[in-house]
Every structure is written in C-alpha cells, then in structure tokens.
Structure 1
Amino acid sequence: MKNREKRIKSKKSIRFKIMAITVIIVIGIMLVSSGILHYSMQNLTESILLDVLKPMAGQSAKTVESNIHLLADRMSDLSLDQRFTNADASKADHDQVLKEARNTYEFYGIALYSLEGSLLSSDGENYGTDIKETSLLSLMRETDNLTIADPMVTQDFVGIPMGIPVKSQGETWGYLVGIYKYDLLSDVLGAIHIGQNGMAILVNQDGKIVGHPTTDMVRQELNIYDLDTSASAHSIFDRMVSRETGQALGFINGQESYVAFSPVRGTRWSFAVEVPKTDYMASTNLALLNTLVGTFGTLIVALFLIWITTTMISSQLKSAILRVNGLAQGDLTSLVEVKKTGDEVEILSASLDSTVQSINGYIMEIQRVLDNISKGNLNVTAEGEYKGDFHVLKESLTQIITSMNEMMKQTSNTALRLTDTAQSMSSQSEELQQAALTQTNAMDDLNSKVENIQGNLNDVSDNTKETKQRAAEIAEQIADGNQKMQELTQAMEAISRNAADITKISKLMEDIAQQTSILALNASVEAQRVGEAGKGFAVVAEEVRTLAGQSTEAAQNTVEIIDTTSHLIRKGVKLTAETSRALSEINKGSDAVTAISNRLSDTVDIQEESLRGVSQRIEDLSSITRQNLQCAENTAAVSLSLDAESKKLKELLDKFKFH
C-alpha cells in the first residue's frame, strides 16, 4: 500500500492540474486583457492628442500672430507720424519720434534708414550704419509693406527685427526698423505646457529655430534638420517648414513623439508643438499596472478557494485510486471507504465498491472451476449470475470446459489409434530395415564390379592413345618420304632435260670441229700454193685440223656418255614414279589407320565418361540406400518410443472425468 501511495504522489495530482490550468487561464486572460487595454488606451491617447494638438498649434500660432500684429500696428502708427510723412521734418524731429517710441514701447532700439539702406537716425540698438546686405531690406523693397525678420542675436540681447516703409505723399522715402524685445515670443512659447517634456518652437522656412522657450537655443542659431538626421524626423520637418497645418507621429531625437504644426501668417515662420509619447503613456501604464495588480490579487483568492475544493476532491479520489491500484495488484479483499459527500465522488466510491465485490465473486467462481479442471474433473460448470459484459466471461468459461471435454475425448480416441499405429509402424520399420540392408549390400557389390570395368577401360584407353600417336608418326614419315620422292623425280627430270641440251651442244661442237677441219685443210692447200712463205701457216693449219679431229672425237664420246646417262635417268625416273605411287598408297592406308585410331580413342573416351557417370549414380544410390537403412533404423526406434509414449498418454487420459 505504501509503495502504491508513493507512486501516486510521484505523479501530478488532479489538484495540481486544476490549479495549473486555472493559473494559465487567468494569466492568459490577464495578458490578453492587458494587451487589449494597452492597445486601446494607446490608440485612444494617440487619437485624442493628435486631435487636440492640431487645433492647439493653430490657436498658439494665432496667438503669436496677434502679438506680432500688435507690434506691427505700433510700427504702422509710427510710420504714419507726421514728423515722418512731412517732407519738411528735420532730423531732430525724426530723433524725437524714435526716442519717444523707444521709451513707450518694448524696443531694444529703433532706427530710420534711407531707401539705399543707409542710417539716417536711430535710438538704442540697431543693425548699424546701414542695412544694405540684410534680408530685411530686400523683403521691404520686395513687398513695400511691413516685414518681420528672423531674430537678431547679439552678445547682449536677442531681438525681433520689424521694418516698414515710411511714405510721404504716397511715395516711400525711407524704412523704419525696430528691434522688439524677444520676451514677446518667449512668454507665449513658455506659457504652453503639454505633458512633462512637451514644448513649443518657431522655425523659419529654412528650418532654423527662431522661437524657443529657452532663449539660449535661439542664441545658438540651430537648425532642426541638424538636431535629428533620421528620415522619420525629416519627413515631419519638411511638412513643418512648408507652412502646412497638420499633425504627425514619429521619432524625434530617438523617441516617439506627437507633433502638431501650423504657419504663423504674416511671417516666414511656422509654429510647432512636440510632445513625447511617453509623457501621456505613463498614465496608461499606471492604469495597466493597477489592472494587473487587481487581477493578480483575484488570482490569489481564486487559487486559495480552488486549493480547498481540490484538496477535498483529491483526498477522496486518492482513496478510490489506491483501491483501484490494489485491485490491479490482485487485492480482492480490501474494502472501499465510501464517504457521504453527496456528490460525484461518493457515487464513484460506491460504484467502485460494487465493482470490487462483483469482480471478487466472479474470480472466486472462476477459481473453483479451474481447481476442478486442474484435478482432472471436467464434469463441472460455471454457476452464479454474471452481469453485463461479465456474462461473456461466463459463456467463454463454459465454452472452454465444453471444448476441453470434447478435446480430451478426441485425444483419448486418438491415443488409442496412435497406439495401434505405433505397433504397426514398428513391425513395418523392421521389414524396411531388412530390405534397406539387402539393397545396400547389392549396391556395394555392383559398385565393386563397375570399378573393375572402369580399370580395364582405362587400359584400353591408354593403348588406343599410344596406337594413335604411333600411327600419326608413321603418317608423318610417309608424307615426308613422299615429298622427298617428288623432289627426286623433279631433279631426275631436270637432269634428263640438261642431258638433252648437252647432246645438242655436243653435236654443235662436232659440227664446228668438222668445219674447222675443212678450214684447216683449205688453209693447208693455200699454204702449199703460196710456197715457202706459207710453210708456217701450213703448220698451224695442220695443228688446227688435228685439234678439230680431237674435238670431234671428244664430242662423239660425250654424246655416247650422255645417251647412256639419259637412258639411266629415264629408268630412274620411272622407278621414282613407281616408288612415289607406292608411298601414296601407303600414306592412304596410314591415314585410314589414323582415322580408325581416332574413332577408337573417341569411343573409348565416351565409354569412360559414361562409366564414370554410371559409377557416380551407383555411389549416389549407395548413399541413398545407406540413408534409407539409417532412416529405417531411426523409424524403428521412433516407433518403439511412440508405442511407449502412446501407452503413457492413455494412462494419463484415463485419470480425467468427462461429461
């Protein structure tokens, strides 16, 4: 039981799962709600601020515009003073007007300039002796009306220059230029408070800061394009200096800000209000934090209540689980504790108790039936009522008992038939063993005789091969002799032909000798006729005649010898031809002997190969007969063992009781 409790504790309980799911759901709802709240408040704040800032910027621009108009009215009144419009007024009159104006209004200085920009009269601070190179003079000449220039920055002060043409009888003869104190703008800009870090500024068409709550920023003559080079900021600055009225949300100086802007009419300036988004999101974040804290507190309370409820459910479920685990481990005797909780847990415990009791009854009945079967009593049935699907168990048990009865009866009948079969197999195995032994002896005798035949055939094969070799050698020698005889015949025929040629030559020599003898005779006759002078020639002629006679004799002897030789050669040629024909006949007989030897050798080889195949088949048959003999012996032994085992099986089956 303790081991089961440890295994249960080692797993996640339902209490843990319920609390974990609750925490996940609450946290999920809290995060989703917070996200929706944060997104909604952010959009609401953004919408409100953008809707508020745009008219605020327009109204502030109008305030600056009205203050500037107030100053412009003063300048206009001064330019209409008779001491300026009267052509007869002196410089002293001009100085008087300027002094009175400076003492009356908030001027750092005021001066009167000619049309060329040269100083005519002044009181207090001014541009200097002339304003020829200033943009203020260019604007006054261009518009011929009141003009406001960008703030004038010196070491001592920051002022707002304002100029207006001075006319007499409708013609402009000079320019009145006053330097108003900068407090006029700084008071207006400083009075605008939006958020903790919000501020208002004035910029000209080039982006130069001409108005700022802090005068030092104006003294530095900074340009807004230089303060932030990001594309987001520049897109807002472009709209601002283009004298557009509108609002935007973008990043300025690295932080997301709301910006509204509007042009100041009558000037080259634009009024802008910048409010960092974080100033107004602080309240939103605080509201979100309060929501999270409240939700977290609610979560703690919910978890406490869930803990109490799940602890009660978990303890009751744990008891039921322990009992189910005990049932799985084979515990059929322990009781199930049923607590009166009036809920599903009580129903679960009662159902578990009923299930345990029913299973216990079924198992006890099955145990009784199996005990009888183990003792050999198959005349038994499953009793009692089996409910629901357990009825299938009863039917299966009954079917098993019935099947076992039928099987055991069939097994008993089979054992009787097996005994008879085993006895029959034993007698047949003895006969088969005897037959296999006889067959084995016969095959051994046949194998011995085949080996003797194969030995004799090997001798015949060897002799045949030797005869074939000798016949081949004789045939080769006869062919060689025949070739030599043919060569000898050809040589004899060549000699005969040469002899005939020699005979012809000899006859030609004999004819030449006769002609020479006649010539020698004629020479001798001529020598005698010549007389003493021809004696020497006569001697030579005699010698030539003698030589010719010897030549004739030699030629005749040669002819006789050649005739004798030709006769012998013809006889040799005839004998050679006869010898060649005899050798040809011998060669034909040798070829026939060789062919017969070859056929005999081939026949012997075929018979030898066939005999080897027969010998191999006889060996295979001998091996098979030995295997048959071994199988017969094994079958006889098995049949004896089968007979003994069938008798034992019958004895065991006799112990069972059947229906």
Structure 2
Amino acid sequence: MKSISSKLMLIMFVAAMVIISVLDVVAITAISKTTKDTLMSSAKPLSVQGSKRFDASVQQLVTDVSRSVRSANFSNASGEKEMAEILKSNFPENVRDNITCAVMGDAGQTLYSANESLSAVIKRDDIDKAVQSNEPFISDIYVADSGKGRKQYFYILQSVFKDGKYLAAAAIVDSDVLSDVFVNSAVGSNGFVMLVDKGSNILMHTQHDLGIKRFNPVDEAAGNDSYDNFAEAIKTVSEGREDSGEFTLDGKHYVFGSDASDYFNANLVYAMTPEDFGDATTDTFRSIVILGLILLTFTIISSMFFSRRLSKPIVSATARIRELAQGNLSSPVDVWYSKDELGVLTSSLEETIVCLRQYINLITVSLNQISEGNLCHRMEGTFKGDFQQIKTTFNDILNSLSDTFASINNAAEQVNTGAVQVSNSAQSVSQGSTQQASAIEELSATLKDVAKQVERNANDAKNANTIVTRNADAIGSCNDDMTNMLGAINEIRISSEEISKIIKVIDEIAFQTNILALNAAVEAAREGSKGFGVVADEVRRLASRSAEAAKQTASLIENSSAAVSKGSEIAEKTAESLGSIVHGSEEIQSLVKNISEASETQTEAIAQINTGLVQISSVVSANTSASVGTASASEELSSQSLILKNMIARFKLGEDTKPTSGVMKYDYSVPEEDSSLLKNRVLQITNMGMDDEDGFTDDIDDKY
C-alpha cells in the first residue's frame, strides 16, 4: 500500500509531466509549422530564380549560335565542314564536348555533320521555320542514341544565306550542359528539380533516368496509388492552376514551387522536404526537451520535499489512531502546532483521547459500584456531545435495575405458586400421553395387517397381468397365422382362375381339331384314300376325348373354386373373431395393469401411514417424557425462586423503590425489542460480578 507521501509525490510528478509534455508538443508543433510555412514561402522564389538561370543558360547557347553564324569567319568558310568547326569553336570550352555541329540544306538534307545519327532527327519543318523567320529556332527536348547510350538532346537552328542559297547551321546540344540547374540547386539531400511539359511528362530531372524515360506521374498513378498525391500536384502545375503547394511521395512530405520556362513549353519545379532544412528546428527541439527535463527534475525534488513535510504529521496521527483502535489511551500525541488543518487534526486527536480516558474512568467507577451490589450509585462528571447519552443511559439503567430487582423479588413468589400449578398440569398431561401411546400401538398393528393383505393383492395382480400379457401375445400370433392362411387361399383362388382360362383354351383346341378331322374325312372320301380316312377318324376320336377331359377338368376346377371361396369366407370370419379377441385381451391387460399399479400405490400409501404412526408414537413418547420432566422442573423452579429472593437481598436498592403486590411495576409481557434490551442489561450486570451458578441467567433466558 502506497503512503500518502508517495501519492503526493506521484500526483505532483504526473501533473508536471503532463504540463511539460503539453508545452513541448505545442512548442514543437508551432516550430514545425513555422518551418513548413517558411519553406513554402521560399519555394516559389527559388523556382523563379532557377527558371531564370535555366533560361539564361539556354539563351547563352542561342546567342553563341547566332554570333558564330553572323561572324565573318563563318561567311568566308570554304565549305560545310569548316562552317561546322567555326560554329563549334565559338562555344565555351566546358560545353564543346556536349555539342555536335552540322550544316543542313534547305531541303532538309544533311550537308555535313560530326554525328550523322544525331543530325538525322532534325525535322524539315523546323529548318523551314528557321529559314523563313531568319531567327534562331530551338527544338523540343528529345531522346536519342549517340553511340554512348541514350541521352537527351535539343538542337538550335540558324538560317544562313550563302552562295545564292539558304543553309541552316545546327547545334545539337546534349542536355547535360544544363545539369547544373538540376544538380547544384539548393534543394537539400532529399529534394529534387524537374522540368515538366504541359502533358505532365518529366523532360529533365535531378534523377537523370526519369527524364530519359519520359516518366509521367499522372499515367503512373493510374496503376499505382502511391503516386496519386504527386500526380495531382504535377497536374495542377502542368495546367497552370497552381505554382506552389505540397505533395507526398515515397512516404516523404514535399513542398514545391514552380515557374514557367521561356523554352520547351515547360515548367521548372523545385521540390524540397522540411527535414532537409530542419537543423535549426532540431536544435530548438533539443533545447525544449532539455528544458523540460530540467523542469521535471526540479519538480521531482520539490515534490519530495513538500510531500515529506506535509505527510509527516499525517503519518504520525495515523499511527496514533491505529494505536487508539487497538485500545491504547496512554501514549502521547505528536501535536503539530500550526493554524492549518494539520494542526487542527493533531490537537483534536489529543483532545479526543483525553476525553475518552476521562469517560472510561467514570464508567469504571460506576461499574465497580454495581459489582459491589450498590444500585444507588449514579454517574457524575461532564460528557460532551453525543457522549452525554452514555451518562443518561447509564443512570437510566441503574434506576431500571433497582426497580426490576424489586419487581423480581415479588415475581419470585408468584413463580413459586405457578410452579406448583404447572407441576399438577404436567402430571395430567403425562397420563394422557401414556394412553395415547397405547392406542397408537394398537392402530399401528392393525395397519401392518392391512398392509400385508394389500401387498398380497398387488403380487396377485402382477401375476395376473403377466398371464394376460402372455395370452395376448399368443392370440396375436394366431391372428397373424390366420392372416397368412387367408393370403394363401387368395393365391389358390387366383391360380384356379388361371387354370380355368387354360382349360378353356384346350376346349377350343379340341373343337378346332374336331373340325380339322371332319375336313380330313371329307377330303379322304373325295380322294378315295382309306389310310387318310383312318387318320381322320383317329384325330376325331382324339378331339372328342380331349373335349371330354377338358369338360371334366373344368367341372373339377369350378368345384375347387367354390370350395376355396367358401373356405376364404370362413377364414375371414375367423380372422374377424380373432381380432375381436385380441382387442378384448388388450383391454383386459390394460385393466389388470391399472389394478396392479393401484395396488402398488396403496401399498406405498399404507407404508407412509405406518411411518407417520411410528413418528406420532415417538412424539407421544417424547411428550410423555417431557411432561415428567416438566413436573420435575416445576418443583426445581419453586426451590430456585426461594434462592432468587435470597440473592436479591444482597443488592442495595433505591430508597424510593417499593415492591408492589398483585400487579408488578414492570409487566413482563413486553414487546420483543424491549424484552431483548432488558435481558441484555441484566446479562451485563451478571457478567460484572454475579455468580451464574445460582441459575439467575438461565431463568432470564427461559423467561425471554
């Protein structure tokens, strides 16, 4: 469990920690915002400055081309090769290696070029524009293969009239001559510079490969969500809607400014991250954190000092109160002498202990008087506040006890008289209980005989139920056999009907055979063949015998069918009779089962009655014993009442206390809460010095 000193120290530490943290966060946020706003305001001027530097670099190249073409050396050159060499020699030495010079005809053909692959991309339309305007013409930036890899180029054309025809002097410039604008710009380690055309294509970039690839953030964002914010910013620049703003790329936050270039129909964009310009901000952050730690350390030290100073008197008072709770009233109190709450707390604690010690001394004196049997003593002294009730209640108890003992003395005589009457009544109750016990024993014996008869009936009902069940099963089996026999008879009837159909067919065959024999006899007579006639006679006789046999068989089948039909009717009637018998057997079985269950229920009920009689018998026996004990106790109560009178004579009662005769001053038929209060008061007195062996406390317990 934490002490109050630890809690105060913890509260002060947490409060200081929260306040310092909030102040640090507010200061850091304000400084970060100021840094960001400053960078935002400087991005646009930086881009304007860079754009001017970029345009100046391009313009210088254009000026060098124009000056070379208009020079006398160029006009006096003996051929295209010399013209190209003069053109190149007028460029500064630091850029000559990145410039390829060529001379183009008015039809777009290459008259001379130091690099045929580079001059081949010069467009005829661009040559026409240069010739017609007689002003330098600058192409767009394009990507070509120079033999050393793919690079970015643009060309400058200047028309020349020589030998009666127009020529075009071309300077093909590698974009690396402009790289100082992209590499040496003050954009920090994470910032970059790029040249973006109206279609959002990156023409040139601090990261050289992005310009060669013609990287387009808007197109890239269609398949990669991480470029959405960057693409939106580039789109606003390309469309001329914004010239400064913010975007997020690769998890970094950028601030950008843009300015339109005079060349290539593009915008120069400067993008910077606040982190690259945050050295001063970092130092400020560090100073704020250090100051916060110093303040936190000072807070901890001061909180430890004040918490210990404030908690010391509280801890001392707490320890003294704990001793007071254990009953220690003698130890001194460490009083804190001040006018604040701590001083009031300790002085009030000392005053409380002194008062409690005084109250306990007065109560001890009064209790000693009571233990000596003096009920005339009254408590004196000054009690404050709610403690005044102790003095009043204690004196009321003494007055009440004095009156009560006087009333008890009178009540003891009445108890003696009542004890004699109770003893006589107890004798009468004891005789009646003995007679009840004898009658219950006879009734119990009779119920045992009835129980045996009911149990025998229940067993007979169970046996009858078993026999009826067995007969019902046998009748059911017989009924199933009769059903099977009835099915077999139906099958015989069906077979007889099929045989009748066959006999009919045989009869028809005999009829046809007879006709055939007759025809054979007619033919035999016509031909005069005796052998054929004999055969015809034999066939006729065979047909006659077959017809006669078919008639006899049909007659037998009809008799069998009639017998089967009659047997079927008899079997059906027998089956109906057996069904009725089965139904009756089931009803008999149900009735016998009900009788058996009722017999079992009666057996259980009689067993319960028998148990109840046994309990009643035991209760009657107990009542008999109690009656005998009551009579004995009544006699004992009479003798104890005499002892009680002698004991009360030991106490000194008030002078105005006069025992009443007939009606007592205190009625013992009081409410339960009052009787409980009286009992507790008497028990307190007896526990202070009265010997309990005389039965006084037991008598009070019996009364209340």
- The normalised TM-score by structure 1 is 0.60
Matched, 1:223 2:215: yes
SS in 1 for 2:382: coil
1:103 to 81, 86, 89: 89
The letter for the 1-side match of 2:110 is: L
Contact 2:245 2:256 in 1 (8 A): yes
Partner of residue 353 from structure 1, selected from 350, 353, 376: 350
Contact in 2 for aligned 1:208/1:221 (Cα 8 Å): no
Q: What residue is the counterpart of 1:284 in the other structure?
A: 281
Checking the alignment, whether the CA contact within 8 Å between 2:108 and 2:124 is kept in structure 1 is no
**Identity of counterpart residues, as a percentage?**
20
Is the alpha carbon distance of 1:274 and 1:227 closer, same or farther for their aligned partners in structure 2, counting shifts above 3 Å? farther
User: Counterpart amino acid of 2:638?
Assistant: D
Shift of 1:376: 3.7
Partner of 2:3: 13
Q: Paired residue for 1:299, among 277, 296, 310? A: 296
Distance 1:48 1:317 in 2: 56
Residue identity matched to 1:21? I
- Is 1:54 aligned to 2:47, yes or no? no
Q: Quick one: which of 362, 365, 370 aligns to 2:367?
A: 370
RMSD of the alignment, in Å?
4.8
Instruction: Tell me which residue corresponds to 1:655.
Output: 650
The verdict on how the C-alpha distance between 1:26 and 1:138 changes in structure 2, with shifts beyond 3 A counting, is farther
For the residues of structure 1 that align with 2:332 and 2:54, how far apart are their CA atoms?
95
In the alignment, what sits opposite 1:185? 178
Q: Which residue of 2 aligns with 1:635?
A: 630
| Stretch moving more, 229-238 or 219-228 | 219-228
1:337 aligns with 2:343: no
Counterparts in 2 of 1:434 and 1:205: CA distance versus 1, 3 Å: closer
The 2-side partners of 1:265 and 1:159 are apart by 19
The answer (yes or no) to whether the contact 2:138–2:157 under 8 Å persists in 1 is yes
Matched, 1:202 2:195: yes
Per the TM alignment, residue 234 of structure 1 is displaced from its structure 2 partner at its CA by 3.8
Which residue of structure 1 aligns with residue 305 of structure 2?
A: 308
| Cα distance change on mapping 1:432 and 1:343 into 2, 3 Å | closer
State the one-letter code of the partner of 2:4: I
Instruction: Give the equivalent residue in structure 2 for 1:272.
Output: 269
Q: Secondary structure at the match of 2:271?
A: strand
CA distance 1:340–1:393, change in 2 (3 Å)? same
Separation in structure 1 between the aligned mates of residue 436 and residue 210 of structure 2, nearest angstrom: 136
Find the aligned partners of 2:132 and 2:377 in 1 and give their Cα distance. Answer: 131
SS of the residue 1:373 aligns to: helix
Asked if residue 63 in structure 1 is aligned to residue 53 in structure 2, the reply is yes
From 2, 23, 26, give the equivalent of 1:33: 23
Deviation at 1:119, TM superposition (A): 0.9
Change (3 A) 1:640 1:21: same
Distance in 2, matches of 1:270 and 1:384, equals 106
Distance in 2 (alpha carbons) for counterparts of 1:310 and 1:41: 36
- Distance across 2 between alignment mates of 1:148 and 1:47: 38
C-alpha distance in 2 between matches for 1:402 and 1:283: 93
Q: What's the CA shift for 1:332?
A: 0.8
Match of 2:486 in 1: none
* Alpha-carbon shift at residue 24 of structure 1 (Å): 0.7
For residue 395 of structure 1, what is the aligned residue in structure 2? 392
SS in 2 for 1:389: helix
Aligned position for 1:495:
none
Residue 149 (structure 1) aligns with: 140
Q: Does structure 2 conserve the Cα–Cα contact (< 8 Å) formed by 1:14 and 1:314?
A: yes
Matches of residues 399-410 of structure 1 in structure 2 within 5 Å? 399-410=396-407
The CA deviation at 1:34 is 1.8
- Number of aligned positions between the proteins: 479
Distance 1:125 1:375, change over 3 A: farther
The match for 1:113 among 91, 104, 112 is: 104
Q: Deviations over 1:478-502 (max 9, x none)?
A: xxxxxxxxxxxxxxxxxxxxxxxxx
SS of the aligned residue for 2:385 comes to: coil
How far residue 334 of structure 1 moved from its aligned partner, in angstroms, is 1.4
| CA drift at 1:298 | 2.0
What's the counterpart of residue 246 of structure 2?
Answer: 249
| Deviation, structure 1 residue 91 | 7.8
Q: Distance in 2 between matches of 1:151 and 1:261?
A: 22
Report which of the two structures shows the higher radius of gyration computed on alpha carbons.
1
- Taking a change above 3 Å as real, the CA distance of residues 311 and 435 of structure 1, as seen in their structure-2 partners, is closer
Shift of 1:205: 5.5
- Map residues 217-616 of structure 1 onto 2, 5 A cutoff: 223=215, 225=217, 230-231=226-227, 232-240=229-237, 242=239, 245-338=242-335, 340=337, 344-434=341-431
Residue pair 2:64, 2:90 contacting (<8 A) in 1 also: no
Report Cα offsets for 1:237-275 as digits up to 9, x if no partner. 444555654334333234333333333233143322222
Deviations for 1:170-197, whole angstroms, at most 9, x for unmatched residues? x995544213464652233344213444
Question: Aligned-pair distance for 1:361?
Answer: 0.9
